[in-house]
Structure 1
Amino acid sequence: MPWAFCDEVLATDMSNIVGCKEEELAIMNGLTVNLHLLLMSFYRPTEKRHKILIESKAFPSDHYTVESQIRLNGYDPARSIIFVEPRKGEYDIRTEDVLSVIEKEGDGIAVILLGALQYYTGQFFNMPVITKAGHAKGCYVGFDLAHAVGNVELHLHDWDVDFAVWCTYKYLNSGAGSLGGAFLHSKLADTMEPKLVGWWGHKFKSRFDMNNELELSPGISGYRLSNPSIFAACPLRASLDVFCKTSMSELRAKSVVLTGYLEYLVGHYFGKDSPHRKNKEFITILTPSNPEERGAQLSLYFSIPINRIHSEMGKRGIVCDERKPNVIRIAPAPMYCNYLDVWRFIDALLTIMDIAENQPDLDSELD
């Protein structure tokens, strides 16, 4: 039954991308389902330690999962969620501010859950430093890798991360709604067990005996519920085959210079102080300028409404997305983008911005 192993045969190549042992990850479900399953094990609140720390603008799936898990355990999200946020007038969250909150509130925090790479700003959090600080205060530390996997170098095992979840349809290119991934550190394999079990978490050697006597697979494999879709596994297999032709270190090296080139051109042509923007609308980059604090993504904040700008980008073959009211995210993914692609984007954006600035009735012009 080759289909019965369609999830397991992906584990080796995926482990190289997220930096862990093969037995520490499972390909299963979707990101939010996996987050719920893991939080059911990791979030065990007490009156003293019942809080979850997340970023103030966490992705909705993380925010809603945290709220519902807190309510499920009989606590009030208003009392049990701690938000870490940027300082006034800033866009990104300083690492020292995260550490300060952990130091101050850590004795009451059960779980720290951050998006490893913040979806809105593109900020890449200092995962090993935050993990070490959380552990020092007795907290479990987990990360949502949705925008980080396949984008930046990850070393989940060596960084001592307790758990992580991710989807595979962004930088891993497997298609929207495809299979997700989950990580559980091997140090916790014998102490953490799923609160909900399904037959796919049963050890393979006796899974098809159908005797209803559970032999739970160890570690994260025991969290699997149902047999995965072979149709969802195939595109992920194809994507991982391409990733196997290179390495995350090589991709990251290209990404740093490619995104740096994009950052330079955006600032040169659209920065607030650029001579090209004199008395014109401008673009602010929300993403950190330090390459170590970002991936391929730059979040561009426009000083004018973006709905029409985004529409025109689509008509010109530029694949990006809008985050209302004023942000468009651009990501020159190093797997298939090059310097010419970056320049073509800037050239198109010059034309689009000129239209936006010179024609008030942009709706009729662009729609």
Structure 2
Amino acid sequence: MNYQNSLAFASEQDALDPLKDFRSRFLIPQHHGKDAIYLCGNSLGLQPASAGKYITDQLNTWQNLAVEGWFQGNDPWLNYHKQLSASVSKIVGANENEVTVMNSLTVNLHLLMVSFYKPNTKRFKIIMEGGAFPSDQYAMESQVKFHGFDPKDAIVEIFPREGELTLHTEDIIQKINEHADELALVLFAGINYYTGQFFDLGAITRAAHNAGAYVGFDLAHAAGNVPLKLHDWGADFACWCSYKYMNSGPGGISGIFVHEKHFENKELDRFAGWWGYREDKRFLMAPGFDAAAGADGWQVSTSPILLLALFKASMAIFDNAGGINLRAKSMALTGYMEFLINEFNLQHGEEVFKIITPVNPQERGCQLSVVCRQNAKAIFKHLADNGVIGDWREPDVIRLSPVPLYNSFTDVFMAVQQMAAAIK
């Protein structure tokens, strides 16, 4: 696309956008009586306009049927979570029986590591990206300690080369090969929360398996944002939250992926619960855990129906929009923001705003992480005061994420205009 630095161009692109009507399916925060420019879907997605109805429907079922709601009504609760499997499997590139929705992200990460982090005196190391989101760091540290190892010995972090901010795939593979004989697990984010780098998950999976290790992914910033092919890549497991790009509400339900190749593996441990017991015999209340088929067998606790209802409202929108359409618009929107920021730097005569997210569109999603070289906190405050909602990360980074479901080219143009105004 040949971008132009003008409001007229942005307006023209919005008029041509095949997804333009989806914006009306979300509730946009207001700023002085007008829609705010919301560029923070990487942290919390917007509320679907239909969310209230989905919640009300389940409240009405509770009111009218009470406990019988588990078995009666239009959407019996007992299998309500299964209504989401088809939608979620498309988003993460999996078979329907390889995914389920349950719990919250870090809880799921711990539960999956019960199965896939099996250290011994020879193989006990975990490789992960340096500067991973703290939840992942804490989870790895506590898992390693639980198994009696020292995190300093067991956790291998991969950092960028000197003077760089993002990782090279060949460096990741080299590190995996370097520790191959002692490696138990490779655990990476799909997208690094700070830089916005989308890792080559297929290459990481192949390298980990060649080293004899399991591989899992935290897809908090990737699910609903970039194309994923978990089944085809052969990843062993993955988990994600749904309240960022998948708009399920603050603290919304999480999800997991377990590759079907592990379904019949009786050697895998798991922390079991009644909700993960095989469905045809669940109500016999028999002793001895017999897992449900597929990823559902990793469930532990009763499905939270109201959280599932919120997620279902958003998944209906994703189903209508289509993943290919969303990715195409995402790349166009993010590319436009990159173009405008670079144009401002060129006109200003110096790199006031440094984009640290990869330039290659295939190595990023919606998010651009921007280093402000002067008065960073004041610039962020100016944006907020003028209705541009982004995300601040110490010491000087503003994260801006134009989400294709509800953001427009005009949003992007006006946001960069406000960045320029802050400098002036």
1:309 has 2:379 as partner: yes
- Provide the residue aligned with 1:187 in structure 2: 261
1:21 has 2:91 as partner: no
- Name the aligned partner's letter for residue 170 of structure 2: E
- Name the aligned partner's letter for residue 348 of structure 2: H
Corresponding residue to 2:127 among 53, 63, 74:
53
- Provide the residue aligned with 2:327 in structure 1: 252
The offset of 1:213, in angstroms, is: 4.5
- C-alpha distance after superposition, 1:41-69 (max 9, x if no partner): 11111111100001110011111000000
1:87 has 2:161 as partner: yes
Moved more, 162-171 or 250-259: 250-259
Tell me which stretches of 4 or more aligned residues in structure 1 moved more than 6 Å. none
- Provide the residue aligned with 1:207 in structure 2: 282
Corresponding residue to 1:233 among 273, 287, 308:
308
Q: Normalising by structure 2, report the TM-score.
A: 0.80
- Name the aligned partner's letter for residue 94 of structure 1: H
The offset of 1:253, in angstroms, is: 1.1
- The 2-side partners of 1:115 and 1:297 are apart by 15
- Provide the residue aligned with 1:267 in structure 2: 342
- The 1-side partners of 2:387 and 2:297 are apart by 43
The offset of 1:154, in angstroms, is: 0.5
- The 1-side partners of 2:396 and 2:383 are apart by 15
- The 1-side partners of 2:296 and 2:161 are apart by 40
- The 2-side partners of 1:211 and 1:16 are apart by 35
Moved more, 164-173 or 37-46: 37-46
- Name the aligned partner's letter for residue 40 of structure 1: V
Measured on the aligned residues, the alpha-carbon RMSD in Å equals: 1.4
Q: Normalising by structure 1, report the TM-score.
A: 0.92
- Provide the residue aligned with 1:362 in structure 2: none
- Provide the residue aligned with 1:62 in structure 2: 136
Helix, strand or coil for the counterpart of 2:327? helix
The offset of 1:18, in angstroms, is: 0.6
| Identity among equivalent pairs (%) | 42
Moved more, 150-159 or 209-218: 209-218
The offset of 1:305, in angstroms, is: 4.3
CA contact (8 A) 1:29 1:181 kept: yes
Larger relative contact order (C-alpha < 8 A, sep ≥ 6)? Answer: 2
- Name the aligned partner's letter for residue 225 of structure 1: V
The offset of 1:156, in angstroms, is: 0.5
CA contact (8 A) 2:272 2:289 kept: no
- The 1-side partners of 2:386 and 2:250 are apart by 22
Moved more, 16-25 or 305-314: 305-314
CA contact (8 A) 1:255 1:296 kept: yes
CA contact (8 A) 1:31 1:181 kept: yes
* Structure 1: runs of 5+ lacking an equivalent: 355-367
- C-alpha distance after superposition, 1:234-284 (max 9, x if no partner): 111000000011221221111111111110101110x3xx23245xx7111
The offset of 1:6, in angstroms, is: 2.2
Moved more, 39-48 or 74-83: 39-48
- Name the aligned partner's letter for residue 390 of structure 2: C
- The 2-side partners of 1:6 and 1:177 are apart by 19
CA contact (8 A) 1:299 1:328 kept: yes
- Provide the residue aligned with 1:290 in structure 2: 360
1:158 has 2:228 as partner: no
Moved more, 213-222 or 24-33: 213-222
Number of matched residues? 349
- Provide the residue aligned with 1:103 in structure 2: 177
CA contact (8 A) 1:127 1:159 kept: yes
CA contact (8 A) 1:194 1:223 kept: no
